[in-house]
Amino acid sequence: MKQKYKFFFKRFLYYFYGEKFFKRFNYDWSKYPSRIQIIQSIIDKKNFKHYLEIGCDRDVNFSNIKAEKKVGVDPIRGGTLRMTSDDFFKQNNDKFDLIFLDGLHTYEQTIKDIDHSLKFLNNDGVIIIHDCLPKKIWNQIVPRIYGHWNGDVWKAIVHSRTYTNADTYTCVADHGLGVIFKRKNRNQLDLKVNFKNLKFSEYYYNHEKFMNLIAYKNLDSIF
């Protein structure tokens, strides 16, 4: 309850000092397959063996994924290793086929997790990132001031869309699943900005172009 009042107070302050843009997307996530279904179907189709999840929490996803070798990293609970993603990548020597990023939902941490993952991803592997499609401004404000929080992970997707040697998409399912391949970018975004400073209104008006959206039914076409 105390937390709810704190959020209300912070939202009140935000009305004065923050970006004022209140258009929203109407994604109904209950109509799409879940991250668990999508991740498992990729593992099965590609015969992937090594799975890494960053940010496991109550293992809702981690415990349902079937793969020969699974590593789960979380400093608080769940998974198999109790540490932050930065500490994990510092000491890791293994390569993975599918890496699911769902740790700290800030632009700064997510782009770091993406860069580290590209280093430890097998050449035909894939990175999946949760929470890339916030529906409204409140969902993505950092620090969190609203119940449902996607954070500003979407800015890390826009940033990786500008890479030459990574090919980035956003699958429209389960709050937006970023999909990154280690290959030449097939649709490189030409944008030179401070990605942290991007506005929600820019995300709204350039949605398709920034996020490189792909319907889950067409996912096979990019593998």
Ligand X SMILES: C[S@@+](CC[C@H](N)C(=O)[O-])C[C@H]1O[C@@H](n2cnc3c(N)ncnc32)[C@H](O)[C@@H]1O
Give which of 104, 148, 147 is closest to 129, Cα–Cα: 104
Interacting residue with ligand X among 56, 121, 179, 219 (CB under 6 A): 56
- Least distance to ligand X from the beta carbon of 40, Å? 12
Minimum Å gap between C-beta 73 and ligand X is: 5
Q: In angstroms, give the least distance from the CB of 149 to ligand X.
A: 9
- Using the contact rule CB under 6 A, the part of the chain among 11-19, 22-30, 57-65, 213-221 near ligand X is 57-65
Contacts of ligand X in 73-92 (CB under 6 A): 73-76, 84-85
102 vs 7: CA distance, rounded Å: 23
Among 39, 54, 156, 166, binds ligand X (CB under 6 A): 54
> Is there binding between residue 125 and ligand X (CB under 6 A)?
no
Query: Which tokens is 168 given?
Result: 């980035």
Q: Are 79 and 71 in contact (CB under 8 A)?
A: yes
Choose the stretch contacting ligand X; rule: CB under 6 A; options: 22-30, 69-77, 190-198, 211-219.
Answer: 69-77
Task: Please state the length of the chain.
Answer: 223
Toward ligand X, which CB reaches closer, 152 or 167?
152
Nearest to 11 by CA among 210, 106, 146, 153: 146
Strand order in the sheet with 121-129: 69-73, 50-54, 96-101, 121-129, 177-181, 167-172, 213-215
**Residue numbers at the binding site for ligand X (CB under 6 A):** 53-57, 60-61, 73-76, 84-85, 102-104, 109
